[in-house]
Amino acid sequence: MQNQFTVVTLNCWGLLLVAKNRRKRLGYIAEWLRKSDADVAFLQEVWVQFDARAIARAAAEGPLKHSFHFVSGLFGAGLMVLSQHPIQTVQLLSFNAVGDPLAILSGDFYAGKGVGWARIKTPSHGEVDCFNTHTSAAYGFNWQEAKEVPGVLQPTDKNAAIRIAQMLQIIGFIHSRTGGTAHPIILAGDLNSPPESLETKLLQQLCPALQDTWLAANQGQESAAGATANTPDNTFGGTKGQGKKPIKIDYIWCSGHSAASQSQVLADRTPQGQSLSDHNGLTSTVTFEGHKAGAQWMIPQPTADLITTLELARTVLTTGHQQMKSGAIRGGGLAGFSLAATLILLGFQLSYPWWQYPRALVVQRLALTIGQIQTSPDQTNTRKSQQCSSQP
d(CA 336, CA 356) in angstroms, rounded, equals 30
Helix (H, G, I), strand (E, B) or coil at 369: helix
Helix (H, G, I), strand (E, B) or coil at 234: coil
pLDDT in the model for residue 101 = 67
Relative to beta strand 4-11, strand 281-288 is: antiparallel
CATH assignment at residue 53: 3.60.10.10
d(CA 264, CA 283) in angstroms, rounded, equals 6
Angle between helices 49-60 and 22-34 (to 10 degrees): 20
Residues 283 and 308 in one domain: no
Rg, the chain, Cα only: 20
Helix (H, G, I), strand (E, B) or coil at 266: strand
Number of H helices, E strands in the chain: 9, 15
pLDDT digits 0-9 by tens, 137-164: 888 778 999 988 889 999 999 889 989 9
Give the domain-ending residue among 278, 295, 312.
295
Instruction: With respect to residue 376, please indicate whether it lies within any of the assigned structural domains.
Output: no
**Is residue 284 a contact partner of residue 262, using CB atoms and an 8 Å limit?**
yes
Residues 288 and 323 in one domain: no
pLDDT in the model for residue 209 = 86
Instruction: With respect to residue 382, please indicate whether it lies within any of the assigned structural domains.
Output: no
pLDDT in the model for residue 96 = 84
pLDDT at 349 over 60: no
Q: Give 288's pLDDT tier (boundaries 50, 70, 90).
A: confident
pLDDT at 358 over 50: no
pLDDT in the model for residue 102 = 64
Instruction: With respect to residue 219, please indicate whether it lies within any of the assigned structural domains.
Output: yes
Give the domain-ending residue among 243, 277, 295.
295
Number of domains comprising the chain: 2
d(CA 207, CA 192) in angstroms, rounded, equals 18
pLDDT in the model for residue 224 = 84
Residues 15 and 133 in one domain: yes
Residues 307 and 278 in one domain: no
Residues 75 and 216 in one domain: yes
Instruction: With respect to residue 392, please indicate whether it lies within any of the assigned structural domains.
Output: no
Domain that holds residue 247: 4-295
Instruction: With respect to residue 128, please indicate whether it lies within any of the assigned structural domains.
Output: yes
Q: Give 302's pLDDT tier (boundaries 50, 70, 90).
A: confident
Spell out the alpha helix ranges (H) of the chain. Answer: 22-34, 49-60, 160-178, 198-206, 213-217, 237-240, 304-326, 336-351, 361-370
Instruction: With respect to residue 183, please indicate whether it lies within any of the assigned structural domains.
Output: yes
Burial of 133-161, coded b for 16+ CB within 10 Å and e otherwise, reads: bbbbbbeebebeebeebeebbbbebbbbb
Residues 33 and 71 in one domain: yes
Percent of the chain at pLDDT > 70 equals 73
The CA dihedral of 49, 55, 60, 65, to the nearest 10 degrees, is: -70
Q: Give 2's pLDDT tier (boundaries 50, 70, 90).
A: low
Residues 222 and 365 in one domain: no
**Helix %, strand %, coil % of the chain (to 5):** 30, 25, 45
Instruction: With respect to residue 386, please indicate whether it lies within any of the assigned structural domains.
Output: no
Mean pLDDT of the chain: 80
Residues 315 and 364 in one domain: yes
d(CA 10, CA 188) in angstroms, rounded, equals 9
Tell me the average pLDDT across 52-68: 98
Residues 291 and 305 in one domain: no
Instruction: With respect to residue 380, please indicate whether it lies within any of the assigned structural domains.
Output: no
Q: What angle do CA 361, 363, 364 make, to 5 degrees?
A: 65
In this structure, the number of other CB atoms found within 10 A of the CB of residue 74 comes to 9
Q: Is the pTM of this model over 0.75?
A: yes
d(CA 195, CA 223) in angstroms, rounded, equals 11
Of residues 160, 162, 136, 163, the one with CA closest to residue 146: 160
pLDDT in the model for residue 244 = 76
pLDDT at 252 over 50: yes
Of residues 293, 313, 300, the one with CA closest to residue 369: 313
Residues 209 and 267 in one domain: yes
Q: Residue 366: what residue type? A: L
Residues 228 and 257 in one domain: yes
Strand partners, 250: 190
d(CA 35, CA 115) in angstroms, rounded, equals 26
Relative to beta strand 210-212, strand 66-70 is: unpaired
Length of the chain, in residues: 392
Of residues 139, 171, 169, 135, the one with CA closest to residue 156: 139
Higher pLDDT, 362 or 63: 63
The burial class, CB within 10 Å (0-12 / 13-18 / 19+), for 103 is middle
Residues 267 and 303 in one domain: no
Q: DSSP string spanning 205-221?
A: HHSTTEEEHHHHHTTT-
d(CA 142, CA 160) in angstroms, rounded, equals 9
Give the domain-ending residue among 265, 280, 295.
295
pLDDT in the model for residue 259 = 58
- Rounded to the nearest 5°, which phi and psi values hold at 264? -150, 150
d(CA 317, CA 367) in angstroms, rounded, equals 9
d(CA 138, CA 8) in angstroms, rounded, equals 23
